[in-house]
Amino acid sequence: MNINIDNLTKSYENNKVLNDININLKNITSLAIIGPSGGGKSTLLRILAGLEKPDKGNIKINDWNILFNEKYLKTYRKNIGMLFQAYNLFPHISAIRNITLPLEEVHKINKKEAFKKAQSLLERFQLSKHSNKRPDKLSGGQKQRVAIARALALNSEFLLFDEPTSALDPELTMEVLDMINSLRKENKDLILVTHEMGFARKACEYTIFISEGKIIEHGESERIFTSPKSEELKRFLGKLFQWH
Ligand SMILES: Nc1ncnc2c1ncn2[C@@H]1O[C@H](COP(=O)(O)OP(=O)(O)O)[C@@H](O)[C@H]1O
Ligand SMILES: [Mg+2]
């Protein structure tokens, strides 16, 4: 995927949350966004998802030159997938229905096709035996995996994930990260906000480090984690790894 962000700024009241973000990336398949809490990662992702309007700036992802009007955003959102930390599923319907419903309602796919597609995805990700359970009968990891399966069913052009494992125990985190990693085989482009540094390093080819509303440093993940240049990134990684 190609990502081009120019002069992106976003404030809440008097608080500048994103302060002149600029980046130009070509042919990226997996992008990690890391940085301290409160730095603006989620805000950036929500803007990229067309869920929030910037104060100013231009964003182009692939052929989408994002216009922040409802008509444009409605089409745009239909074509991308977004996954949050938790609460991604409709709570009152089964796992499989969570997948078939948007296929039928939003994408106008007939019931039979939608069911077939949902079933084959659940099977592929070893979720078949949970297909008739409602979300409250699933573990956190299973819920996130169903949510990812749904995003895949919708055939999104790319996926935006905001800390999809941060509400999960370590073991469940691993099953979700494994699944996200397997998306690479699908050639599914992905932008992932994460505090899983090992995953960012090994599974994402490129990493952006954001702190206090600015991109402090970005580069190939291996380089970012092995030889950080800025004091901010060194400090951030130092703090994270002091107990490893
Ligand atoms: N809807 C909002 N209204 C007011 N302030 C917000 C809102 N969303 C985020 N913020 C503030 O913006 C800053 C960046 O938040 P966020 O993008 O969530 O950071 P991160 O995801 O890196 O932790 C924080 O100071 C947060 O309190
Ligand atoms: Mg966040």
Q: What is the 3-state secondary structure (H, E, C) of the chain?
A: CCEEEEEEEEEECCEEEEEEEEEEECCCCEEEEECCCCCCHHHHHHHHCCCCCCCEEEEEECCEECCCCHHHHHHHHHCCEEECCCCCCCCCCCHHHHHHHHHHHCCCCCHHHHHHHHHHHHHHCCCHHHCCCCHHHCCHHHHHHHHHHHHHHCCCCEEEEECCCCCCCHHHHHHHHHHHHHHHHHCCEEEEECCCHHHHHHHCCEEEEEECCEEEEEEEHHHHHHCCCCHHHHHHHHHHHCCC
Q: What percent of the chain has pLDDT over 90?
A: 81
Could you tell me the pLDDT band of residue 191, with boundaries at 50, 70 and 90? very high
CA dist., res. 216 & res. 230, Å (int): 7
Phi, psi of 69 (to 5 degrees): -115, 155
In order of their start, the domains of the chain are 3-80+158-241 (3.40.50.300), 90-155 (no CATH)
Question: Does the beta carbon of 53 sit less than 6 angstroms from any atom of ligand 1?
Answer: no
Asked if 97 and 146 touch (Cβ cutoff 8 Å), the reply is no
Question: Does the beta carbon of 14 sit less than 6 angstroms from any atom of ligand 1?
Answer: no
What mean pLDDT, rounded, does the chain reach?
A: 94
Question: Does the beta carbon of 42 sit less than 6 angstroms from any atom of ligand 1?
Answer: yes
Residue 243's pLDDT is what?
A: 66
Task: Indicate if the pLDDT at residue 82 is higher than 70.
Answer: yes
Predicted structure pTM score? 0.94
- Spacing, Cα 106 to ligand 1 middle (Å): 30
CA dist., res. 234 & res. 174, Å (int): 26
- Spacing, Cα 12 to ligand 1 middle (Å): 8
Task: Indicate if the pLDDT at residue 77 is higher than 90.
Answer: yes
- Spacing, Cα 128 to ligand 2 middle (Å): 31
Least confident stretch, 20-24, 57-61, 147-151, 232-236? 147-151
With the most atoms of ligand 1 within 8 angstroms of its CB, the residue from 43, 166, 232 to mutate is: 43
- Spacing, Cα 209 to ligand 2 middle (Å): 13
Q: Regarding predicted confidence, which is higher, 184 or 224?
A: 224
